Structure 1
Amino acid sequence: QVKITDMRKRFFSGMLLLFYVVVSFAQTPYKRIVSLAPSLTQSLYYLDAQDNLVGCTSYCMAAKEDKKEIVASAVKANLEKVIALKADLVLVSGFTDLQDIETLRKFGIKVEVFQSPKSFQEICGQFIRLGKLIGKEERARRIVLESEQKIKNISSGIKWGRKPRMFFQIGANPLFSVLPNTFMDDYMNFLGAENIAKTLKRGSVSREFVIAQNPDYIFIVTMGIVGKEEKDTWSRYSQLTASRKKQIHIIESDIACQPTPITFVQTMEVLEKIINK
């Protein structure tokens, strides 16, 4: 009877140990992550997972100081480098070449695709999904809750007498407008404003179109000398309400164009400050 009891104890102890090993293994985040999208790289830093990042693109500003291995430009990934880094997880955007994704998967590498989000809600959903994937779900959910509350506070604090019309410009030659059903359109939605491109299906617009729409605000989403040149150009059109009221502003593209909960809030805070001046 004693022997049987001892055997049972050893059996259950062994099963318990095996259970903990399996659970521990399942919860272990990926150790060698490669990111092929600046926003995903930025998200890894927000989730405090940068130590597991071994490679990224030349446009990943969040990782610039850490001298991570550069494995891709804006348009093409160096698959040989990714494989040589022994990556166990590769994060990609919906713009990544499908053939590249399949090649990496053939080498047994897990590739997770994040499509371009169409709203702030989708940004938050993708952020939590990434958090789950790398064992940082609790932190991801906390960041999302904080971001949602900040957006709510900003929205409720903005009061208009008349709904303003806004033009969000991306790029200069040619001119591109932020379109509806994109996460950047949500900047205007949360501000309670109207996108002058709300009926458009394509982003390319002419100056004549913008002048005819006569926006109250023009936000130029870019960096460097191009933004200043565009601001000077629009300011010369005295018939524009935005020009007459000096409501032509440059917004940093590194923040506004990055779909993460934190950068979305940062952009909204910049816009709120401009509006409440």
Structure 2
Amino acid sequence: MGDAPKIPPQSQDSMPADEYKMEPAPDYTPRHPGSGKLKGKVALITGGDSGIGRATSVLFAREGAKIAIAYLEESRDAEETRKLIEAEGSECLLIEGDLGSKENCEAAVGRTREQFGQIDVLINNAAQQWIDEDFANLSEEMMRRMIDSNVMAYMFMTQAALPHLKEGAAIVNTTSVNAFKGNNSLITYSTTRGASLAFSRSMASLLADKGIRVNAVAPGPIWTPFIPGSMPPEMVEDFGKAVPMNRAGQPWEVATAFLFLASSDGSYFTGQTLHPNGGMIVGA
């Protein structure tokens, strides 16, 4: 990939943060021509407005899928992603709302089916993250906010989508390298990502006989709005340098893992996790 771009100190006061404010801009661009791997499919992607979700949305569109994006409130990023999807010759539906609410998850699924008539791929990716500076005094509100976003939303979305998923459908959940190795400054976040990992494995077992595959992707340090939105500027500077590849990953480098698991390329994968993490060795 060549030299990694230098990441200067920066921070934002919102979570999720805004991609358009990041310097340098995350790289979402697919690297290869599409080959129709998702032709005729509809993908519902949570957190598809930015970061890994944006890169996955654009890649899936290039591969022929129509895209529904569910996001919290980052309308400027979402509109930009819609333009990118349409530039790939596909269609995009934007759905704003807090997915920690079961009602909103059901509405997102309903709107997707109303617009496109089907759902073939569910990508549970939207999440929130904060540094646990003082875990002993971390507020119940903050804990529940992360659990609602990172755990309950995945379960609610899956519940809502399941009646509409047919044999051959795929669910891919985002987890994290921190679910495997732990992180003493991201205790709550890492715990929620452990939950999404266990959820993926359990649902894979439940749905195998229905021909629905469920897998997970566990990114390492990726340059997304998570980083300036949750870390102080001094931690953001040169983010990702500690991994063996000596750089942060880019969203497009994670999107390819989602495509593999969502398409027929991954037809013999269920209950598994892919690890785009720059060389960190963790238990599978």
TM-score, length of structure 1 as denominator length = 0.30
Q: More relative contact order in 1 or in 2 (CA 8 Å, sep 6+)?
A: 2
Q: Give 1 or 2: higher strand fraction.
A: 1
Q: Give 1 or 2: higher helix fraction.
A: 1
Which structure would you say has the larger Rg?
1
